[in-house]
Structure 1
Amino acid sequence: MALSGFSSVVADSAHQEVFVSGVGGDPVAVTDFGGRVIGTLPALAGAGALAVSDGEGILYAAIRGTDEIAAVNTATLQEVAIYFTGSGHNPLHLAVVGNDVWFSYGGSGQAGGAGIGVLDPAALTVNTTPEPTFYYAPLLASAHSAPNTLVAGNGAISPSVIESFDVSTGSPVPIAKSNPWGQPSPCSNLNQLAITADGANVVAACGAPYHGSQLALSTMTENATYPTGPYPGSVAVAPGSGAIALGVYGSPAAVDVFSPGNPTPVGTYSFGGFGAYGLAWNQSGSELFAVTTPSTPSSSAPTLNVIDIR
């Protein structure tokens, strides 16, 4: 892939495509499920966060520094819309819940400096809500298995707070918030979040401790751990099988795959490079796509590794 760095990876099982965004003015790279490059999406140059529509078919991309979210039809690979999120609401992370595209923005390192917004592509409306829990634009997670639920977490903070929201009304209504100060091994420097296939929990990949931390969405208390090496940097859940993949950074790059609730990995995969910074599954859980980089993702070209789980 002709990218100068790495930001995000998503998979569209409906069309068997993988999309990878880079850094700076990089376009979005497109591969098939075998890892073969199909081409690039120049219209999405400068894209950071990516998300795929709940039914798949539309790729959403947050375009850096423009306050815009672009949409591409994954069947034709043509841009179909550009949505303005409002001045100063530069989207940094994305998640799709039903027909809505949720995004996080802002953050100055001060409590209350960030917010969560929602784009309704059909109605062409955008609403934003300041969120006092978050210092920076929070990481986001959603899943078809947890309808009307959004999870947000304070990345790059030690300890990191994770909060679940009911978004059925079009506004983020808090459900539960984690208390890392009350945990013996709290999440520090949160990197990614993924909701489990049963829709009951979220798994956090934190730089420390050296395990994936599973929290109940209803209470945000830890109910399982998935041990890894240092340092957990990425996580993804297979919608069909429920398998949980956790990637680590700090050479060598490696990915552990777990069955839900089982702390012993069913498979471990090692790669060259410094870290596994991005993970995505196909719908069934038979293929896992892992993005590795030879040094930090902001400054080195990514490699897409295809792992056959069957």
Structure 2
Amino acid sequence: MLGLGTSTATADTSAALPISSYRDIAVDAAHQRVFLSDPFGGSVLVTDYTGQVVKQISGAAGAWGMALSDDSRTLYVALRDAGAIAAIDTATLQETARYDTGTGAGAYAGPTSLALAGGKIWFGYSLDTWRGALGSLDLSGAQPVVTRDQGLDTFRGSPRLAATPQDPDTLVAAESDGNYATVAVYDVSNGRADTQARRTDPGPDGCQSLQDLALTPDGRQVVIACAAAHYHQALRTTDLADDGIYSTSWSPNSVAIAPDGTIAAGVYGPSWSDVQLFPQGTSTSYADWDFPEPSEYDNTTLVTAGLAWTPDAGRIFAVTETSGSSSLTLRVLDHPRVDTTVTVQAPASSPRNQNLTLTGKLVAPVGFGTGSTVDIWRIDDPLAGEGTMIGSANVAADGTFSYTDRPKAKGNVQYTVQYYGDARHAYAYGSVTVNITSD
């Protein structure tokens, strides 16, 4: 008999963290670990995917921004209070190298943000209390090479950085000093930061106090979270023109984008929706989380830049804090299994012993990853309900598929397509009936 299957839901989990300060998060899929920087505690905290502590790496003065190498073997950490970048082996969780950035150390000197682009490690740092700049660390030669003083006269504070492996020569930087933010896009393919676009106070309502930014995987959009805005804003990287919004609420403070383009947008303060999920280019969310309040007088809020995806987009990590205390919590948000539909098309009739092609499409709020398939069942007698699985078809990134059969029986034949779902998509099926005629 043809089975229809069921779907199950998974519960979110949380774990208290033994740190009282936070600035950045990185996810290592190869070792199933989460790294959190603890600047005022001078450490990098390592947990597993459930939030349980694996190790607390000490000796990391002013650990601020982080970047994971493409092969997941090395975690780079900006040490603001040491004026350096540390390299940590993700297998042994030991520091293997430390590179002096030559910026000086401290609140208005050392590096605070990292990104990998153009084959280098880029860092944002402060020149003094009123100016910020970009620097790069090149580890490709026999000796490390540091280049500073790039992006001068653009930022009024140490800029935040964003990059994406799919567009490795694009670097985006934005200041976050509490005033009107300036966002800049650079081409770093020649080893220097060549300005491609620059804009101050971007967005339909401007951008004061930029809290976070992220690049879409294709590098075409940068999404910014500005505390004074009523939504997350998207800018086109070619010219930083307005390119849509993601409807959240007052005081956006975090954004993270999955490899398939799904956007997780977070806000600060009491809200019906602390974190919302959006398909890229769609202003309406399809899922959200409202963090529980511990009491009538205390609030649970998302910290600035407190979101990160697993590379398979199956879950989101969120760092929260409770008002009236210095306690931090790592929340593991399992991606909901979204409703999925299957449409199937075929000719109304077709001769037997001839090729018959079925086409169809899976439709869901989020895309389908490589390796997704559907099973094709044929029921030669729809009234009897007996069916035979005749094959499978690969699903393209846009959800489309096709399958060719060569039916032998005359009469009405029903084809049913089954999609069994995954961590992000619910089970779905669709059918079509074809009248098989004589040769």
TM-score bracket for the superposition, by shorter chain length: over 0.9
Q: Deviation at 1:45?
A: 4.8
CA contact under 8 A between 1:210 and 1:227: conserved in structure 2?
A: yes
Tell me the distance in 1 between the aligned counterparts of 2:132 and 2:289.
36
- 1:223 corresponds to which residue? 243
Which amino acid letter does the alignment assign opposite residue 85 of structure 2? I
Tell me the distance in 1 between the aligned counterparts of 2:103 and 2:136.
14
CA contact under 8 A between 2:61 and 2:82: conserved in structure 1?
A: no
Q: Deviation at 1:180?
A: 2.8
- 1:168 corresponds to which residue? 189
Tell me the distance in 2 between the aligned counterparts of 1:184 and 1:63.
35
Q: Deviation at 1:300?
A: 2.2
* Matched residue SS, 1:75: coil
1:289 aligns with 2:317: yes
Tell me the distance in 2 between the aligned counterparts of 1:179 and 1:135.
11
- 2:308 corresponds to which residue? 280
Q: Deviation at 1:87?
A: 4.2
1:247 aligns with 2:247: no
- 1:303 corresponds to which residue? 329
Give unpaired runs (5+ residues) of structure 2: 1-16, 293-299, 336-423, 425-439
Tell me the distance in 2 between the aligned counterparts of 1:9 and 1:109.
26
Distance 1:212 1:244, change over 3 A: same
Which amino acid letter does the alignment assign opposite residue 44 of structure 1? A
Q: Deviation at 1:284?
A: 1.7
Root mean square deviation of aligned Cα = 1.9
Greater CA radius of gyration, 1 or 2?
A: 2
Q: Deviation at 1:179?
A: 4.4
Which amino acid letter does the alignment assign opposite residue 161 of structure 1? T
Distance 1:263 1:87, change over 3 A: closer
* Matched residue SS, 2:209: strand
* Matched residue SS, 1:65: helix
Correspondent of 2:154 among 133, 149, 158? 133
Runs of at least 4 residues off by over 6 Å: none
* Matched residue SS, 2:290: strand
CA contact under 8 A between 1:108 and 1:135: conserved in structure 2?
A: no
Tell me the distance in 2 between the aligned counterparts of 1:99 and 1:43.
27
Tell me the distance in 1 between the aligned counterparts of 2:23 and 2:248.
22
Tell me the distance in 1 between the aligned counterparts of 2:288 and 2:323.
21
User: How many aligned positions are there?
Assistant: 304
Tell me the distance in 2 between the aligned counterparts of 1:55 and 1:164.
25
Q: Deviation at 1:109?
A: 4.9
Correspondent of 1:21 among 25, 37, 47? 37
Tell me the distance in 1 between the aligned counterparts of 2:178 and 2:129.
9
Correspondent of 2:125 among 97, 101, 105? 105
* Matched residue SS, 2:281: coil
CA contact under 8 A between 2:274 and 2:301: conserved in structure 1?
A: no
Between the aligned residues of both structures, percent identity stands at 38
1:120 aligns with 2:146: no
TM-score (norm 1): 0.92
CA contact under 8 A between 1:54 and 1:97: conserved in structure 2?
A: no
1:70-124 per-residue CA deviation (whole Å, 9 max, x = no partner) reads 01011221111100111425101111115311001115453xx221000012330
Distance 1:135 1:45, change over 3 A: closer
More moved, 88-97 vs 77-86: 88-97
1:235-262 per-residue CA deviation (whole Å, 9 max, x = no partner) reads 11111x2111111111357111110011
